[in-house]
Amino acid sequence: MRSVIVHLMGGLGNQMFQYAAGRALAQRLGATLKLDVSAYASDPLRSYSLSPFNIQEQFATPAELAAIRRPYESRLAWYMQRLSRLLKLPFGWTTVQENHFRPFDPRFAIISGHVYLVGYWQSEKYFADMQELIRSECTLKEKPDAANREMAERIAGVQAVSLHIRRGDYVSNPHTNQIHGVCSLAYYQECVRRLAEELSRPHFFVFSDDAAWAQENLRLDYPTTFVAHNGPARPHEDLRLMTLCQYHILANSSFSWWGAWLNPNPDKIVYAPGRWFNDPTLDTRDLLPSGWIGVWA
């Protein structure tokens, strides 16, 4: 049977993009999806984070990864690869690697055989035709605890807006800061102003990896709740709360992208940074789904 192995890297939001692209491709090919989590053995900052979700969780073995990385160790394997190309038959692994950040890659429409995916794949176009499957699998296995149930009830009782402030290594790591940067307070103020014109009584639920900074610097003239009880150990619980909000103000972060995308409300309003990266060479034309609003501030 065919296999699709997806190389996972980065934090939770990045892993969700990589899983969704791999899962959708495997479904189209009638293939088995496997996850390559080998990158986290040498990553001191990130860890594999998809276990709380109802995903197809099957891991690639070291032997399978070795076959991908060293495909021509024997002369027989080399001849079989050449023959398969002449006859247009599948043999061995096809590595599909994203060349830096780029728009939707049309190669996905013609991929076949055993596939190894390496990239970020940050566009819903990779899995839009499988979105119901992805939405169902990006739910959590465990029910929320008492604190999260109480917060979910508060969200359900108001015109809830999730507002995400991403700092962390975007601030502390000079290289990461040079690529990503952080959203300005002016950006958040403009998004709040626009939503306040659309909603009669908005209530903002603020999610951040730097809750102290957010509480000190984000001053809104509307009801505001800072959600900080889950901490860095349970980002999936914050993500679940985000999806329960009716409206969204994103950071330049794949985490809040997923919080908005998984919200099933057909009337949701989503504001996102018009400039997602500091690096102007990165093409983000396919990053925001149709209907989401880019704000330049």
Within 13 A of 65's CA, how many CA atoms are on the CB side? Answer: 14
Residue 76 has pLDDT above 90, yes or no: no
How confident is the model over 198-223, as a mean pLDDT? 97
> Which residues in 195-209 are b (16+ Cβ under 10 Å) and which e?
bbeebeebbbbbbbb
> Do 260 and 248 form a contact (C-beta atoms < 8 A)?
yes
Within 13 A of 289's CA, how many CA atoms are on the CB side? Answer: 17
Per-residue model confidence as pLDDT tens digits over 123-180: 999 999 999 999 999 999 999 999 999 999 999 999 999 999 999 777 667 667 777 8
| CA–CA separation, 108 and 31 (whole Å) | 14
User: What pLDDT score does 272 carry?
Assistant: 98
List the one residue out of 168, 172, 165, 154 whose CA is nearest residue 189. Answer: 165
pTM: 0.91
CA 241-244-245 angle, 5° bins: 100
How confident is the model over 56-84, as a mean pLDDT? 68
User: What pLDDT score does 72 carry?
Assistant: 43
Q: What percent of the chain has pLDDT over 70?
A: 91
Q: What percent of the chain has pLDDT over 90?
A: 77
User: Is residue 75 within a helix (H) or strand (E), and if so which, with residue range?
Assistant: helix 75-87
State how far Cα 126 lies from the chain centre: 12
Confidence of residue 90 (pLDDT cuts 50, 70, 90): very low
Per-residue model confidence as pLDDT tens digits over 55-69: 999 999 999 999 887
Query: Quick one: residue 121, left, alpha or beta (phi over 0 = left, psi -120 to 50 = alpha)?
Result: left
Helix, coil or strand: residue 222: coil
User: What pLDDT score does 192 carry?
Assistant: 98
Residue 87 has pLDDT above 60, yes or no: no
User: What pLDDT score does 160 carry?
Assistant: 98
